Structure 1
Amino acid sequence: MGRQLAFEETNRIDIRKLKKDCLLNEGFSYTLKWHCGGQETGSIHYDCLATGLSLRYRVRSGDAWLPKQQTVSFAHTQCHFGGTRKWLVCPQCERRTTAVTFAFGAFKCRKCHVLPYFSQQESTIDRLIRKKHKIGKKIFEDYDGFGWQKKKWLHWSTFRHLSEVYIRLDQIIDRFIWQNLES
């Protein structure tokens, strides 16, 4: 049995990325494109209105493409030190969210699509390996799964501490693999 589709594997509209790229100005139109392996897998045109995003996209139905239109509203909350934060409102459950994801023919929040995060589906060994690689990228120069050279400007005390954690994780992973091979 295969694992369930994860949130990170879907095409989504993330308001944080749109804000960072200055694509949330009222009256602004833009086309978002998604790629996989260098090939375009989807695109969506949106118009930014004062009240939300007007989305126009196509959905495959057999061999034909059906045009779809959907509106995702904005919500605003006050920030502690002034200003407001803009959110997307899920078209189905009307919860505030940072991202709406496209799955099963419509844009909705992760909870409405019942999509887990990738990390929620990881096994113990996968989680340990991911943690080891995260530390390796932080402390080793040109990390590609193995490391030996300290990153420039990294304090020696930090390097020594994280190297010990890295080595301990490596030992735990090896022990875990050997135990599973023996049984």
Structure 2
Amino acid sequence: MEPVQLTAGEFTLDQLTVADGPALLTVLDDREIRRWLAGYVLDDERAARAFVGFRAWQWANGRRYSWAVRDADGALAGEVGLRDVDHHDRTVLAFCWTAAAHRGRGVAASALGASLRFGFDVAGLHRVGYQHAVANRASRRVAEKCGFRLEGTLRGAELVDGRHHDLLQWSRLATD
């Protein structure tokens, strides 16, 4: 499936490009993102280019559908998507992060809502899971706004900064 552009309110969702490298380095060098997201450390422009290239490869190979979230000026406001695509069971895990300048305005929930519509209506998904650290209240609000149902706690499920953290597990079905 070719990448598609989506709209989420005043935001456009499209593919990350090599031109996003400097913005990625700046946006991801953020205490809150590093606090909650393992594996989002980019040290230089080469790493940013590799990150963008890997996202394109994942889409092309049906492993992940992800979008850069851009404001009206085209600035990178975050990323949202559906990862760990299981074509047999028609399931994925949703993810999102938001640049500091765009937090607290409903950007993540709006963008994730657009990606859910794509997942259910275009990709034919049955189930979308969503996980976040128990202490991440902003991600909990995103899950609730997007209509996910809380399923439980995954004990010690994610390693961040050398410590294992419990995750809340949410899901949403195409029939919800």
TM tier relative to shorter chain: under 0.3
Max radius of gyration: which structure?
A: 1
Relative CO higher for 1 or 2, CA cutoff 8 Å, sep ≥ 6? 2
- Return the TM-score normalized by structure 1: 0.25
- Return the TM-score normalized by structure 2: 0.25
